[in-house]
Structure 1
Amino acid sequence: MKKFGVGQPLRRFEDQRLLTGEGSYTDDQRPEGALQAVVLRSPHAHAVLASIDCEDARAFPGVRAVYTHAELDAAGIGDIPCLTLFPGKGGKQAITPGHPVLARGKVRHVGDPVAFVVAETLEQAQDAAEAIMVDFDDLEAVVDLEAAIAPGAPQVFDEVPGNVCFDWDIGDAAKTEALLESAERVVELSLVNSRIVVNSLEPRNAIGEYDPASGRFTLTTSTQGVFKLRDQLADKIFKLPRDRFRVLTPDVGGGFGMKIFLYAEQVLVLFAARDLGLPVVWNGTRSESFQSDSQGRDHLSKVRVGLDAQGRMKALHVSTLANLGGYLSNFGPYIPTAAGAKMLSGLYGLEAVYCEVKCVLTHTVPVDAYRGAGRPEAAYLLERLADYAATEIGLTPEEFRRRNFIPKTAMPFDTATGITYDSGDFTRVMERALEKADWSGSVSRKEAAAKAGRYRGIGIGCYIEACAGIGEEEARVRLDEDGGMTVFVGTQTNGQGHATAYAQIMAEQIGIDPAMVRLRQGDSDELSQGSGTGGSRSLLMGRLAIEGASEKVIERLRRIAGFLLEAAPEDIELADAKFAIVGTDRHVGLAEIARKVYAQSESLPEALRGEVLEAHIAKNPPLTYPNGCHVCELEIDPETGRLIIDRYTVVDDFGTIVNPLLVAGQVHGGLAQGLGQALLEVTAYDPESGQLLTGSFMDYGMPRADDMPRIDLEFIQDIPCATNPFGIKGAGEAGAIGAPPAIVNALVDALKPLGVRHLDMPVTPEKLWRLANGLGDQKGEAAE
């Protein structure tokens, strides 16, 4: 292990710059002469656009243009595409109604963009937007999943009968049903996975520029990867060659899935920049984020599990309704189906699984990937089911899991949903978590709390997810003039610490000082392709690409060093960033090689001159399967409903870890988001009008510092992934997957004396107070 190489807890290089105000975000960019834009959004969830009168607005001082769908349609601007289409039941494809950049004919959720106003100042654009006269013919809206598929429900699109745009299934229906019929016991449970607003620290934004001389567009915007946006803009929106578009992403203040996708404003700033001949800037507000950023989760699932006489799960049947909102976002149908439902075997040796998913349109903000993207939904379902079933048949939660875990000796294991786990020791991971959490001592702590008038509970949340080996990735590595190295890669840091991790990888491979490694991301002109950041893919895919490019650079440098040292390249070895003749102390360092190369030294053969820059594209390897166990222990004060998480333990198997500090940060951040969903966060719409009721932080609960417990965290690193050369499994989303079931299971355990068997998220202090004081049902709803 090198001093600064793989496995070392190196502090992040990025932090000094970012924490001292030296970061450069999209909002820090201001091209000369830039105009300012605002979006006029629908105040209605469902209405006909009878007319839009923009004439008064266009006459306002400073206003340069007001655009509606009419101007975009006349210019041939395409709709925002759904990128993940695949067969459903019987080979039938999803119905994909249009997703116009500006509303056409109807609006389909509160916040649907109707007009785009461009003016010299923000205030002028805002004033003009208020002067636009829109005649809305208000229509009945539907926001609830079950109501949306009921007979006679308002239709989001006429071409989507019953509001079901995609009907999909996976698994063996006949085998599952046969095993359920022969089971000793069948346990049933209904679960809600509540809707989340993503709320990244940095709201969305976009700057559009157009160069009439070259005919090139430049979009600067906060993203999780520039290449998918470039390709959509070229192929689907403007229908121009890809080399006519450059997409730039500077520093990014959080993404969590939401910043992967193409949004209307990114199209509109480019359209306006071309039309007006000046740069156009749009900066979203927090209120707009609530109404326009893709939201997460929002599932309703009904589950049946068949058990044998020993409490072993044999078969699982899941029926899920997944809310996709008013339009199909880029990956919308993929998240509840192929991304999530394939993980419904979880850590358990089920013989059969059958899952059917109906993707439903409603008059709400579109839903897409949010941290974990389907895997948190699957893990929450399975882990709540495990606790619920254990109680039903008289087993403890830990014993139920012991009886059902896939054993280590069964690896590699083919699951009933058609995926193969390459490695894992789920029993060992859980037992270690129980030991660290002092699970056996929780009984006495619960008794002590009861004597003090408080309810105390403890819960387990085990998980496994699929990640990392997604898409292809390109990297280029360049020797710089000072002997440092620049790494160009198609991933995109959103705060994860890529600059530090990639520098450690270079230090491991070449021996270079990590401080001499520069990272370049977020410029579609610097690489030919890249799949961005999402699905915990960056470290594995980035490392594969970077090391592939570095190997080519090393080979070229070995040839140059051989010439300078008058030795054959095969007699040159690399150690600590120095190329030496094997068995001697004669060597040449990177800085000296760089001086020779960049001086275009006549002493170098022509074949060895010129910039040292090599590229490599990593092809998608098999998926990896990180797993772990969360244990939450908490107390509830019945007089106030206040909850205190007293102990929180996490044991994760992430395979080989490049930087434990970075991984710990990812787990802590994910856990905060999982805690938020379990206890505080919910996106609520009025069922009659479709109005967003939680449209600001005044109404939408976010976790704060004092909501977070101290986390006792441990990594198991001696079970490497068997399907990639580094043993990496991925870590970025794990905290958000394990936390919700662990917390809700602990809450149910605490409230068992009150007869509570299940709780739906979020379990707010109000719900807890109602339950503790006999004012609600088992889910904390108000009693009639």
Structure 2
Amino acid sequence: MVKFGIGQAVRRTEDPVLLTGKGQYTADVSWPCQAHGIAVRSPHAHARILSIDTQDAAAMPGVLSVFTGADMRAAGVGPMPANVVVTQTDGSKMAQPPRHALATDKVRHVGDPVAFVVAETLDQARDAAEAVLVDYEDLPSVTDTDLADTPDAPVIHDEAPDNRCFTWDFGSAPETADALAKAAHKVELKLINNRIVVNAMEPRAALANYEGDDETGRYVLHTPTQGVHSVQRQLANDIFHVDPSRMRVITGNVGGGFGMKIFLYPEQLCVLYAARQLKRPVKWVGERSYDGFTADKQGRDHVSRITLGLDKDLRFTGLHIDLKAAMGAHLSGFQAFIPTMAGAKMYTGVYRIPALHMQVRGLFTNTTPVDAYRGAGRPEAAYLLERLVDKAALDLGVDPAELRRRNFIPTSAMPYDTGLGPVYDSGDFERVMDTALARIDRAGFAARKAESEARGKRRGLGMAYYIECCGAGPGEQADLRVDEAGKVTLYIGTQDNGQGHHTAYQQIISDRLDLPLEAITVVQGDTDLVERGGGTGGSRSIPEGGVAVRDAAEGVLDKGKIIAAGMLETAPGDIDYADGAFTVVGTDRRVSFEDVARAARDPSRLPPGTEPGLDTKTRHKAAAQTFPNGCHVCEVEIDPDTGDIEIPRYVVVDDFGTVVNPMMLAGQVHGGVGQGLGQALLEETVYDPDSGQLLSGSFMDYCMPRADNMPDIDFIYIEDMPCTTNPLGIKGAGEAGAIGAPPVLINAIVDALKDLGIHHIDMPATKHRIWQTIRNATMPQAAE
């Protein structure tokens, strides 16, 4: 086995630089003569703009200019496009109100930008921003997703008079209605999937310059992204209307993306426009409360009404879902895709459910736009389904593990066509569940519950089984270049956001070329250096990019064998490669990789017709998605007098197929569980229902998970079920922890409280919400 190859728990090679403060994030970058920008944001959730007076602000010391939406539109700066357009049930396209960088007619959420101030210093820009006078006519607002399409809701966009961006149906309504009508049992549930502020460690930022003359010059943008090429294409083709070669996008280190940094934002357009107008670099760095909480794309915010049918043997017969999904105030990149095509096909999960019908209403609200957040539709599907299954078990008095076991798709059915699009290639759901239950010692739970009760506490055990579809996207190209010393540089279009891409790609190359990691360099994040790329999202970087890297390494060896054969005076078919050397099979005649790399650059040593160098460029586009899956089981202990909750045990058993690096994998799972725990127990974006004001606009009011909230996580993975549709057997793991954690935690809490007649509690199950739920159950008058 190669020392640093696939399957080895190699420490991340990125970390020494990052941990010693030598990383380079956009905020760390400064260009000569740069100016500083500040966005002027709306204090209103919904208001008509009557006038914008910038004269006093423009006259303040150090101010270079104050730009408005009218300025940018007059210069031909286009609106930000929706990357996905949904076709509605009636065949028409969804409503697509344009979203410009700066509002001109109305503001539609608190934080909507209306002007952009540029000054010599940041303090001067801040002072001037306060002097921009905007005359608003306040309008009624709606921030509650469930109320957005009611008859008396204020209209947010004229293009969507009922605030519906789209109505979209999936599955068979007649078959599902028939299945539910004939069901021996029906279980109903209303779920709220709470809105999340992403809060990546690195705030958004943008630094732009314009080089050259107006007609042929180039824009340069340094900004944290999850893939520079998609940002380049949108900026060039859709917004600034220039050839993509005139739009260079650079991304350095990225301190967390989680979906939020895939998309375009108004500030990126503003600095590009300002840099061109002022003929100097312009820098904007977001502030956590003023910019992040109000303007970063947020996650989730679904309201669902669900009905599950079961026959007399408690086998699932039909599932109906009525889902309202918040779009927020404006269209964004993929927001229409999340509750529809991304999530809908996973709503049967790991179960045989013969009939499904889902109707999704995407609704505009006077809130920050919602888009992809870690898992992007699959966490919402898993939470809905796993809460529903647990409630069915509780309502019908059956063991939740037995109910799942009775309805699991069996291993013998693989590959299994769900009938909704996905075809599961592999998986043994019952074995994974049983392994998780054994590791948490479910058999000993009754004794632990009794011990908790003796101390006045309530103990619950919950489980949740998730499956997601990922690992496929637009495809990825690996450009592998070998210098004369045998050092390898990989140019690839994915974008590391903290996942450890450099280490993973180095391991894949090392596994095939037998090179030490220090001989391998990875380059990402620059459209001038990397020819093309699909970016990072949907756990596809290693399933797609990793395969492309492996294929490129194989191409290097194929070229190397031809050159080595010439050096050793034999046929290429007689050459083998191992331990860093090309060897004539059956002999001790050999030349090192370094020697062949050197010879490959010397035309006099190449066989006739051989291209110089070992450089290889390959592209891989996944033919099918992958389906990582797993089981989370946890125990909670609740103090009924205070609502305090502890998590003494938490077990995760996952099926990720082939694992590149077990250490990094564990980190991905732990981080995902932390984000899922945050949504389940702590995080909630709250708007005032009357004014539309954001009430949870800072860390004083919005509770992020901390170290003392995290349980010890007993994590293992099962490796003997590699993905059969991915050449490396990899299924993907980046989103898994965040998918399994919310339902398992809520299921455990409900299990602890079920003796009080409590069958559901919505996220986040904060200590106050738990306490209030217990109080309402034990003192009914308290609920009045």
- TM-score of the alignment, normalized to the shorter chain, above 0.5: yes
- After superposition, give the CA deviation of every residue in 1:281-327 in whole Å (9 maximum; x if it has no partner): 11001011101110000000000111101111110000000001001
- Give the distance between the partners of 1:776 and 1:99, measured in 2 at CA: 50
- Give the distance between the partners of 1:590 and 1:107, measured in 2 at CA: 62
The residue that corresponds to 2:242 in the other structure is 240
Does 1:228 find its partner at 2:230?
yes
Alignment of 1:639-678 (within 5 A): 639-678=641-680
- Give the distance between the partners of 2:286 and 2:777, measured in 1 at CA: 41
Greater displacement, 561-570 / 371-380: 561-570
Does 1:427 find its partner at 2:430?
yes
Give how far 1:569 is off.
2.3
- After superposition, give the CA deviation of every residue in 1:348-393 in whole Å (9 maximum; x if it has no partner): 1001111110000000000000000000000000000001001111
Picking from 737, 740, 754, the partner of 1:738 is 740
Picking from 267, 270, 273, the partner of 1:268 is 270
The residue that corresponds to 2:500 in the other structure is 497
- Give the distance between the partners of 1:474 and 1:782, measured in 2 at CA: 61
- After superposition, give the CA deviation of every residue in 1:105-142 in whole Å (9 maximum; x if it has no partner): 00010001111111110011111111111001111110
- Give the distance between the partners of 2:65 and 2:574, measured in 1 at CA: 68
The residue that corresponds to 2:14 in the other structure is 14
Would the aligned equivalents of 1:770 and 1:776 in 2 still touch at CA under 8 Å? no
The residue that corresponds to 1:151 in the other structure is 151
Find the residue that maps to 2:564 and give its secondary structure.
Answer: helix
Find the residue that maps to 1:769 and give its secondary structure.
Answer: helix
Question: Structure 2 counterpart of 1:706, which letter?
Answer: D
Greater displacement, 652-661 / 609-618: 609-618
- Give the distance between the partners of 1:196 and 1:670, measured in 2 at CA: 14
Give how far 1:16 is off.
1.2
Give how far 1:601 is off.
5.9
The residue that corresponds to 1:636 in the other structure is 638
Greater displacement, 636-645 / 686-695: 636-645
Question: Structure 1 counterpart of 2:223, which letter?
Answer: T
The residue that corresponds to 1:390 in the other structure is 393
Find the residue that maps to 1:88 and give its secondary structure.
Answer: coil
Greater displacement, 443-452 / 188-197: 443-452
The residue that corresponds to 2:750 in the other structure is 748
The residue that corresponds to 1:687 in the other structure is 689
Question: Structure 2 counterpart of 1:253, which letter?
Answer: G
The residue that corresponds to 2:716 in the other structure is 714
Does 1:302 find its partner at 2:305?
yes
- Give the distance between the partners of 1:698 and 1:480, measured in 2 at CA: 53
- Give the distance between the partners of 1:479 and 1:544, measured in 2 at CA: 19
Does 1:484 find its partner at 2:487?
yes
Find the residue that maps to 1:124 and give its secondary structure.
Answer: helix
- After superposition, give the CA deviation of every residue in 1:174-213 in whole Å (9 maximum; x if it has no partner): 1111111111111111000000000000000011011115
Alignment of 1:249-328 (within 5 A): 249-287=251-289, 288-328=291-331
Question: Structure 2 counterpart of 1:75, which letter?
Answer: A
The residue that corresponds to 2:56 in the other structure is 56
Does 1:3 find its partner at 2:6?
no
- Give the distance between the partners of 1:66 and 1:567, measured in 2 at CA: 72
- Give the distance between the partners of 2:621 and 2:399, measured in 1 at CA: 45
Question: Structure 2 counterpart of 1:462, which letter?
Answer: Y
Give how far 1:582 is off.
1.9
Question: Structure 2 counterpart of 1:377, which letter?
Answer: E
Question: Structure 1 counterpart of 2:22, which letter?
Answer: E
Give how far 1:610 is off.
4.5
Picking from 614, 617, 620, the partner of 2:619 is 617
The residue that corresponds to 2:525 in the other structure is 522
Give how far 1:611 is off.
4.7
The residue that corresponds to 2:204 in the other structure is 204
- After superposition, give the CA deviation of every residue in 1:534-560 in whole Å (9 maximum; x if it has no partner): 101011111121122222222222222
Would the aligned equivalents of 2:758 and 2:777 in 1 still touch at CA under 8 Å? no
Flag the 1:606–1:521 CA change in 2: closer, same or farther, 3 A: farther
Flag the 1:96–1:363 CA change in 2: closer, same or farther, 3 A: same
Picking from 215, 218, 223, the partner of 1:216 is 218
* Structure 1, unaligned runs of 5 or more: none
Give how far 1:775 is off.
8.2
Give how far 1:727 is off.
1.2
- Give the distance between the partners of 1:776 and 1:246, measured in 2 at CA: 63
The residue that corresponds to 1:330 in the other structure is 333
Give how far 1:607 is off.
5.1
Greater displacement, 441-450 / 691-700: 441-450
Would the aligned equivalents of 1:470 and 1:621 in 2 still touch at CA under 8 Å? no
Give how far 1:675 is off.
0.2
Question: Structure 1 counterpart of 2:632, which letter?
Answer: H
The residue that corresponds to 2:440 in the other structure is 437
- Give the distance between the partners of 1:39 and 1:178, measured in 2 at CA: 54
Question: Structure 1 counterpart of 2:211, which letter?
Answer: D
Find the residue that maps to 2:650 and give its secondary structure.
Answer: strand
The residue that corresponds to 1:356 in the other structure is 359
Would the aligned equivalents of 1:350 and 1:416 in 2 still touch at CA under 8 Å? no
- Give the distance between the partners of 2:607 and 2:175, measured in 1 at CA: 69
Question: Structure 1 counterpart of 2:338, which letter?
Answer: I
Does 1:409 find its partner at 2:424?
no
- Give the distance between the partners of 1:586 and 1:777, measured in 2 at CA: 86
The residue that corresponds to 2:384 in the other structure is 381
- Give the distance between the partners of 2:665 and 2:88, measured in 1 at CA: 37
Question: Structure 1 counterpart of 2:297, which letter?
Answer: S
Find the residue that maps to 1:38 and give its secondary structure.
Answer: strand
- Give the distance between the partners of 1:276 and 1:396, measured in 2 at CA: 68
Give how far 1:782 is off.
7.1
Picking from 576, 579, 587, the partner of 1:584 is 587
Would the aligned equivalents of 2:776 and 2:782 in 1 still touch at CA under 8 Å? no
Greater displacement, 516-525 / 553-562: 553-562
Give how far 1:577 is off.
2.2
The residue that corresponds to 1:556 in the other structure is 559
Would the aligned equivalents of 1:88 and 1:166 in 2 still touch at CA under 8 Å? yes
Find the residue that maps to 1:646 and give its secondary structure.
Answer: strand
Alignment of 1:157-168 (within 5 A): 157-168=157-168
- Give the distance between the partners of 1:773 and 1:419, measured in 2 at CA: 44
- After superposition, give the CA deviation of every residue in 1:731-772 in whole Å (9 maximum; x if it has no partner): 000000000000000000101122211000000011122234
Would the aligned equivalents of 2:197 and 2:685 in 1 still touch at CA under 8 Å? yes
Question: Structure 2 counterpart of 1:615, which letter?
Answer: K
- Aligned residues: percent identity? 53
